Amino acid sequence: MARVTLITGGTRGIGFALAEALLGNGEQVAVTGTSTDGVMRAEHALATACGDPGRIAGIVCDVRDPASAELAVRTAAARFGGLDALVNNAGVGVGVPISEMPHDEWNRIIGTNLTGVFNCCKAAIPVLRQRGGGWIVNVSSLASKNPFIGGAAYCASKAGLNAFSEALMQELRTDNIRVTYVLPGSVATGFNNRESDAGAEWKLHPEDVAQAIVDVLNHQARSLPSRVEIRPSRPQKN
Ligand SMILES: NC(=O)c1ccc[n+]([C@@H]2O[C@H](COP(=O)([O-])OP(=O)(O)OC[C@H]3O[C@@H](n4cnc5c(N)ncnc54)[C@H](OP(=O)(O)O)[C@@H]3O)[C@@H](O)[C@H]2O)c1
């Protein structure tokens, strides 16, 4: 039976590259994003790339909203007959000093990167249990352990996600649900409204992070790589 994976924030960047990789392996994938246009474009592009529209579902979902997260999990499971893996990839960040950060920006970052993961996990755990087990992969960041000026909200959200993931891993492994968190370094995507990655050849490509996640998902049932760090092999010197 082909694995069913729900990827939050799968309409571009790392999540999109992961969807492409899983579909390329003959698997079934649901991707989410908040923008309807973005979801439709991603669904079309992924269906065209894999040549089988029956294995890809695009779902509009805001992970900050518990009801929306619940609906996304249910929709993916109904479409493919169950769920084997949840990849909490949706994330946002801005580089703003705390003294200048509006409250709603703080809430958007923590709401997406931390509470959004809680919302999706809470919705997915019963569905994974029904299946007899599965995976939850949380996409964190090396910024979680390397805080920087202007990154207080982002770094805190990802550091919180690391602790959340460690606790959840212990909570769920007896249910045969494995929890992993992945900490990428700089990845060449449009994250944080970056318009161009010109001159950023040294960065990871989204496909590199996707490959690390695919490798995790393919581990033997007895094996749980619970924390994975991935960084550019030759970082730019400042
Ligand atoms: N790029 C890097 O250098 C880097 C490094 C380390 C870790 N990461 C982490 O990797 C993950 C993916 O980053 P990326 O660079 O691929 O980002 P990206 O290219 O900006 O893509 C972000 C995705 O998340 C979705 N999204 C944003 N807010 C959402 C919400 N509230 N609910 C549902 N979906 C939402 C976006 O769709 P919509 O716009 O339609 O909502 C989009 O599909 C993030 O968690 C990020 O923190 C990135």
- 3-class SS at 51? coil
Query: Which DSSP symbol is given to 82?
Result: S
Q: Give ∠ CA 29-58-121 in degrees, rounded to 5.
A: 65
Share the mean pLDDT of the chain: 96
pLDDT digits (tens, 9 = 90+) for 100-143: 999 999 999 999 999 999 999 999 999 999 999 999 999 999 99
49 vs 43: CA distance, rounded Å: 10
Q: Is the CB of 61 under 6 A from ligand 1?
A: yes
Please give the domain boundaries of the chain with CATH numbers for all domains. Answer: 4-230 (3.40.50.720)
193: confidence class by pLDDT, cuts 50, 70, 90: confident
pLDDT confidence of residue 199:
66
In this structure, the residue with its CA closest to atom 2 of ligand 1 is: 187
pTM over the 0.85 mark: yes
The rounded percent of the chain whose pLDDT value lies above 90 is: 92
Residue 202 makes CB contacts below 8 A (sequence gap 6+) with: 186, 232, 234, 235, 236
Sheet holding 227-230, edge to edge: 56-60, 28-33, 4-7, 85-88, 134-139, 177-184, 227-230
The token duo for 149 is 């000026």
- Whose Cα sits closest to atom 30 in ligand 1? 62
Residues 91 and 116: their CA atoms lie apart, in Å, by 9
Kindly state if the Cβ of 90 falls inside 6 Å of ligand 1. yes
- Give the model confidence (pLDDT) of 56-91 as tens digits: 999 999 999 999 999 999 999 999 999 999 999 999
Q: At 197, is the pLDDT very low, low, confident or very high (cuts 50, 70, 90)?
A: low
* pLDDT at position 150 over 70: yes
**Cβ proximity of 124 and 169 under 8 Å:** no
pLDDT at 238: 57
Show which residues are catalytic: 154
231 CB under 6 A from ligand 1?
Answer: no
For ligand 1, is residue 32 a contact (CB within 6 Å)?
Answer: yes
Output phi, psi for 81, to 5 deg: 80, 20
Q: Cα(113)–Cα(93) distance, rounded to whole angstroms? A: 9
First to last CA, the chain: 48
